[in-house]
Amino acid sequence: MSTTNCYHCGTSCEPIITIQEKYFCCDGCKLVYQLLDQNGMCQYYDLTQMPGLTAKGSFTSEKYNYLDSPSIQDQLVQQVSNEQAVVIFYLPQIHCVSCIWLLEHLNKINPGIIHSQTQFDKKEIKVVYNPSVISLKELVQLLAFVGYEPMIHLGGNDLISRKKVNRKQLFKIGIAGFCFSNIMMLSFPEYLSVEASELGLLRPFFIYLNLFLSLPVLFYSASGFFISAYTGLRQKWLNIDAPIALAIIVTFSRSVYEIITQTGAGYLDSMSGIVFFMLIGRWFQDKSYDSFSFDRDYTSFFPLAATQLVNGKEENQPLASIQKGARLLIRSDEMIPADATLLSEGALIDYSFVTGEHAPVEIPLGQMVYAGGIQKGRAIEVEVVKPVGQSYITELWNSPALQNEKNKMHSFVHPWSQYFTMVLLLIALGSGMYWWRVDPSKILPAITSVLIVACPCSLLLTVTFTYGNVLRWLGRSKLYCKNASVVESLEEIDTIVFDKTGTLTNHQDTYIEFMGEKLTIEDQIAIKSITRESLHPLSQLIANYYTGIDQFTKVESIQNHLGNGTRAKVGGKEYLIGSIKFLALQGVQLSSEIKGSSVALSIEGKFKGVFKINHIYRDGLAKLFQDLKSKKYHLYLLSGDKSTEQMQLAQMLGEDIPMNFEQQPDDKLAFIQKLQSEGRKVMMVGDGLNDAGALKKANVGIAVTDQSHLFTPASDAIIEGAKIPQIAQFLNYAKKGKLVIILIFILSILYNIIGMYFATRAALSPMIAAILMPISSISIVSLSALFTYLFAKGHFSKN
């Protein structure tokens, strides 16, 4: 029978479901088309050819009943009023302009949806709906119906809440900027007039207006600096905010003194400028990673609720209420939320996110299944042995070895800031003692001028803006660092440990090839017909291998042997498809020993060959390892997989790379601890929960993901999988960031020396001091941006 493509989703299928001369692969796709057609929304198909996603009709199941629970709704929904609620969902299926068009016109399908807006880059949809017309459950069912089932996980809403704008920080910046600009404008007449008498009564009015405008800057916008400095002093540590706070107080105090004594207009523009530029720098740094969550734990990957069987009835229960002995129903592609005993005949569990081994494991009746595994076959029933809080994953995550704090250490600049503050105070004291003996009238001008001109804002701005720019450029290149301390830690790394599966390889790029005797067309059709009926991923790979075969045949009989293979009869011939061990037990004579991941085939008892499973490694890995070795990094490879590809890896990466296979999470954690005990600064690059412990323990943990909004374990940085080959460039650029800070720091020291030379002589006029302060800050910001741009252009322009 010939095949065609589904009009909705493009899947190759038999033309047995037709409507209006259009073919569909399943009733689900046909129903979605009919829904869009009835609502006049077939423009969806005009924007992109076959844009839809296969809908199998499971949207009417009771799997979403838990969304009727008020406690669950409280976690997901922002209730604006009784007639309006807002919810944000992550939809990984969004891929084209047709998706956006359909999702933003949901109100045409259901009038209860007031408004919907998508963010393509984040694959998110924000829906404003009327809960009295359409419930949250019905909304999710509608999305699933049209092929966009939301990913709803435990802790997922916390991520959204962490993305909310820091309004307090913006208010502080806005108030400081407003006051600074107005104070500067009102100060121009003072600076430009030859004599104070030229301004007449306007002069005191402008001066006191400036004083009034400076008060919210001092007491509100600058409050963070005072709190930080006070906290540091209580801990007997002069942090970099201490001299900043001192400079603000001194500048304001001298300004008030000059205004009251009518000896000058003060330095209120400089004071407000210091605060404004500091806040801008810190906001800029924070914005580099506000769209990512680096502290997610295992709960972010878990569903909000599970289906519990009570007296034969299905009840959706929050995970927190699932206790030992509870009987759960786990449907296809659902996660097992707790360690449990399998009550069904068999299960096909994908533990890739727990162990790193991507191939699903077939589990027989009565065996243990562990939290974090995903059921790939038909629905199964399990009995909970340990609740979520006591499962294997929880024990791993709560390991005492993981409870350390890292990348919160002080910057390498902080000790310099402490010395800077001490030297500054000594110079101010020495200047005061000198003028006390020579001319007591110049004591206060000299001391305050020293503290104002030598303000360490240049030092703080250098660090804040340079690392802010470095974070921004790394983010543009798809490496998202948690904070500036991570950049400093990257510079110190001397050892790099790589995970294999999902890090050096991509789960989605696995391919298969047949090695053996040439098969007839009839045999190929039979093999595709047999394997297309199985849910096992390897069977699906084999079925997809024969893309050129557009015919199917009747399978007369089929027997699945759990964990081994399949025996089937087609056209009177017996086909065995499974493991080498399975074929050998059936009496098949194997011609040679087969190595690596493979599926064997025999026809009528005769061995025909194997389907070899190949992982596709990311491009550029050989050059990456060569570059890292040339820079004297110690490199290691850890993997939860078997060692079947060790020879291939050695040829690609180098035979001098130590490789450890079949590594459990505890093994990886212990390996990192061992390296650190030897004095190594370790960076771990991994992707799954099996790497979570190592990522958290390493000096720098980088989580790899091919979709940055999917779950990534707690980490210091997130890198997109395609950018793995650029790790050497990222490390080099991080080192250049420190070089930029040192260069600008030297320039700022020269500026301070020149400024203090005039300040100690009491020869610095208020006008010059007021002009030098903003010029110094602006020049530092400009140089930081220029240097980081030039270095980034040299590192990333070719990528």
Residue 756 confidence (pLDDT)? 78
What is the DSSP track for 338-360? S-EEE-SSEEEEE-HHHHS--S-
Task: Judge contact between 760 and 446, C-beta under 8 A.
Answer: yes
Residue 678 confidence (pLDDT)? 93
Reply yes or no on whether the pLDDT at 575 is more than 90.
yes
Mean pLDDT of 339-347: 86
Residue 199 confidence (pLDDT)? 63
CATH code of the region 303-390: 2.70.150.10
Residue 163 confidence (pLDDT)? 47
| Pair of tokens at residue 475 | 């983010």
Distance CA 723, CA 736 (A): 19
Residue 163 gets which letter from DSSP? T
508-616 placed in CATH 3.40.1110.10: yes
Residue 356 confidence (pLDDT)? 52
Mean pLDDT of 508-514: 76
Residue 33 has φ and ψ, to the nearest 5°, of: -60, -45
**Highest mean pLDDT of the ranges 362-366, 470-474, 650-654, 712-716:** 650-654
Beta bridge partners of 383: 327, 341
| Minimum mean pLDDT range among 26-30, 352-356, 459-463 | 352-356
User: CB atoms < 10 A from the CB of 43, how many?
Assistant: 12
Reply yes or no on whether the pLDDT at 295 is more than 50.
no
Residue 276 has φ and ψ, to the nearest 5°, of: -60, -50
Q: What angle do CA 340, 345, 348 make, to 5 degrees?
A: 70
Residue 632 Rama label (left phi>0; alpha psi -120 to 50; beta): left
Band (563; pLDDT cuts 50, 70, 90) = low
In Å, what is the CA distance from 658 to each residue of 150, 635, 640, 673?
Answer: 41, 7, 15, 16
Sign, CA torsion 643/644/645/647: positive
Reply yes or no on whether the pLDDT at 352 is more than 70.
no
Band (156; pLDDT cuts 50, 70, 90) = very low
Mean pLDDT of 684-702: 80
Residue 51 confidence (pLDDT)? 52
Give the burial class of 338: count Cβ atoms within 10 A of its Cβ; 0-12 exposed, 13-18 middle, 19 or more buried. buried
Q: What is the pLDDT of residues 25-72, one digit of tens each?
A: 766 677 677 777 777 777 666 655 555 555 544 444 566 777 887 877
| Pair of tokens at residue 302 | 């878990």
Residue 493 confidence (pLDDT)? 92
Distance CA 55, CA 176 (A): 54
Which CATH code, of 3.40.190.10, 3.40.366.30, 3.40.50.300, 3.30.70.100, is assigned to 61-152? 3.30.70.100
Mean pLDDT of 740-765: 78
Reply yes or no on whether the pLDDT at 684 is more than 60.
yes
- Report percent pLDDT > 90 for the chain: 11
Q: What angle do CA 551, 554, 558 make, to 5 degrees?
A: 125
Task: Judge contact between 385 and 366, C-beta under 8 A.
Answer: no
| Pair of tokens at residue 761 | 């002589």
Amino acid letter at 582? F
Which CATH code, of 3.40.50.1000, 3.30.1050.10, 1.10.340.30, 3.40.50.150, is assigned to 478-506+617-735? 3.40.50.1000
Give the CA count within 13 Å in the CB-facing half-sphere of 255.
30
Task: Report which of residues 458 and 35 the model is more confident about.
Answer: 35
Reply yes or no on whether the pLDDT at 288 is more than 50.
no
DSSP three-state, residue 21: coil
| Pair of tokens at residue 528 | 């595709």
Beta bridge partners of 307: 316, 329
Task: Judge contact between 684 and 262, C-beta under 8 A.
Answer: no
Task: Judge contact between 443 and 436, C-beta under 8 A.
Answer: yes
Q: What is the pLDDT of residues 296-312, one digit of tens each?
A: 455 555 666 788 888 87
Sign, CA torsion 694/695/701/707: positive
Q: What is the largest CA-CA distance in the chain?
A: 115
Distance CA 616, CA 389 (A): 37
H/E stretch holding 415 reads: helix 413-438
Can you give the residue ranges of every domain in the chain? 4-47, 61-152, 161-287, 303-390, 411-477+737-799, 478-506+617-735, 508-616
Band (21; pLDDT cuts 50, 70, 90) = confident
Reply yes or no on whether the pLDDT at 557 is more than 80.
yes
Q: Could you tell me how many helices (H) and strands (E) the chain has, helices first?
A: 26, 30
Q: What angle do CA 566, 568, 574 make, to 5 degrees?
A: 115
Residue 299 confidence (pLDDT)? 57
Q: What angle do CA 450, 452, 456 make, to 5 degrees?
A: 100
Amino acid letter at 650? A
Task: Judge contact between 210 and 266, C-beta under 8 A.
Answer: yes
Reply yes or no on whether the pLDDT at 158 is more than 50.
no
Residue 359 confidence (pLDDT)? 62
Q: What is the pLDDT of residues 512-531, one digit of tens each?
A: 888 888 899 999 999 988 88
Cβ neighbors of 349 (< 8 A, separation 6 or more) are: 336, 360, 361, 362, 363, 369, 373, 374, 375, 376
Distance CA 655, CA 626 (A): 12
Residue 774 confidence (pLDDT)? 60
Cβ neighbors of 129 (< 8 A, separation 6 or more) are: 84, 85, 87, 112, 113, 114, 139
Mean pLDDT of 272-284: 75
**Pairing label, strands 305-310, 346-350:** unpaired
Mean pLDDT of the chain: 77
The pTM of the full predicted model, rounded to 2 decimals, is 0.60
User: CB atoms < 10 A from the CB of 419, how many?
Assistant: 10
User: CB atoms < 10 A from the CB of 76, how many?
Assistant: 19
Q: What is the pLDDT of residues 216-258, one digit of tens each?
A: 999 999 998 888 888 877 767 666 677 678 778 877 888 888 8
Residue 662 confidence (pLDDT)? 81
Residue 46 confidence (pLDDT)? 65
Helices (H), 53-96: 70-76
Reply yes or no on whether the pLDDT at 599 is more than 60.
yes
Amino acid letter at 666? D
Residue 287 confidence (pLDDT)? 58
Give the burial class of 546: count Cβ atoms within 10 A of its Cβ; 0-12 exposed, 13-18 middle, 19 or more buried. middle
